[in-house]
Amino acid sequence: MRLPLAFLAAAAALGVLSCPARADFQICNRMSYVVEAAVGLQESGALVTRGWYRVYPGQCRITIEGTVNADHYYFHARALPAYGTSPTPQSANAELCVGKQHFIVPAAGRGCSRPGQQLARFTEVKPYPSETGWTAYLAEESEYDDEQARLAAVQRLLTINGYDANPIDGVKGRKTEIALAAFLKDRNLTADAVNAPNFFNALLDAAHQSEGEGFVWCNETSNVVMAAMANEDRSMIISRGWYRMEPGQCARPEVLARARRVYSYAEAIDASGQVIKLGGKPLTWGGRTMLCTRAAPFEISDQKDCGRRGLNVMGFASVELAAQGATTLRFMEP
């Protein structure tokens, strides 16, 4: 099964820990994405959802203040449009109603009755009791701590803005420092702006201004499409995936600064995560450049002996990038 670049609920079981003095419910973001979160609480059979709460990497945000003692806690998180596509929960077990902007929806499990509302996939969590209240974590397989998550998120947005801050690993190195210094110079920002509370807003604003550039996938099929891409970085080709696109959705993967070519592979999947076949042939979009992948989210820089290392081998298409504007690759059914 192909898994998307995913939000993972890293919430500890309640166990024998004592209840916190305050019972606020907060979301802590240990991902490399700025996210907007919605929460759902069920108490005595009544289920209410509310959102959206923007949560920056390495930070926590209280979503409900006061005494919270629910029977069930749910959350849904989405990445901002600057990332091109929104990672989704791996183990969503409820469909609850949300609004487009700030909202509170009572009886959220009974469908959406008002214009502008829609169902979204929520994951049930068991929040961890802390001194400030009940806490649920958003995390990635990389298992970043707060500081690493913040740096990885800066690296990701720098890369989206065309500055070479790869790999996105939450580790500060020379490439990250050079990319960060170039961004600050181009934006006429001082060095202390990096630690300012609104620095992510500066990175996001820059990404919005460059939305007409780079590389874009668009899923024009009636199926979910999972895609992987690869960048050339000096003498290496770095492949990474997976990006999930619902029917009609587009995604903007990270492309290295000054890149002239990328490599692309994609496959349509069914509800169980298996590759769809049409006329006995897998519904995929690729080419002749054989690169390493794996079923779970991945970033692979060594493309040798994929099979012997327990990795999969897929044929990627070589895509020349336009000198100006965005290069869009559209996935269509034959």
Asked whether the predicted pLDDT for residue 37 surpasses 70, the reply is yes
| Amino acid 239: pLDDT | 93
Asked whether the predicted pLDDT for residue 17 surpasses 60, the reply is no
What is the Cα–Cα distance from 203 to 253, expressed in whole angstroms? Answer: 16
- Cα–Cα separations (whole angstroms), residue 270 to 4, 226, 267, 282, 285: 14, 11, 10, 12, 16
Mean pLDDT of 230-249: 85
Q: pLDDT averaged over the chain?
A: 83
**More reliable by pLDDT, 94 or 230:** 230
Asked whether the predicted pLDDT for residue 224 surpasses 60, the reply is yes
| Amino acid 228: pLDDT | 94
Enter the pTM of the model.
0.63
What is the Cα–Cα distance from 94 to 10, expressed in whole angstroms? Answer: 17
- Predicted confidence (pLDDT) per residue in 70-97, tens digit: 888 898 888 887 776 555 545 667 888 9
| Amino acid 110: pLDDT | 63
**More reliable by pLDDT, 234 or 34:** 34
Residue with tokens 């970043």: 144
Question: What residues contact 209, with CB distance under 8 A and at least 6 apart?
Answer: none
- Predicted confidence (pLDDT) per residue in 185-216, tens digit: 988 999 999 988 889 999 998 877 655 557 88
Strand partners, 253: none
Mean pLDDT of 49-78: 88
Is residue 152 very low, low, confident or very high in pLDDT (cuts 50, 70, 90)? Answer: very high
What domains, with CATH codes, occur in the chain? 8-139 (2.60.40), 146-209 (no CATH), 214-331 (2.60.40)
Mean pLDDT of 58-75: 85
Residue with tokens 């995390």: 139
- Predicted confidence (pLDDT) per residue in 278-311, tens digit: 989 999 999 999 999 999 988 898 999 999 999 9
What is the Cα–Cα distance from 61 to 79, expressed in whole angstroms? Answer: 16
The bridge status of strand 60-64 relative to strand 24-30 is: antiparallel
| Amino acid 314: pLDDT | 95
Measured in degrees and rounded to the nearest 5, phi and psi for residue 178 equal -65, -45
Mean pLDDT of 157-168: 78
- Around 48, how many Cα atoms within 13 Å sit in the side-chain half-sphere? 11
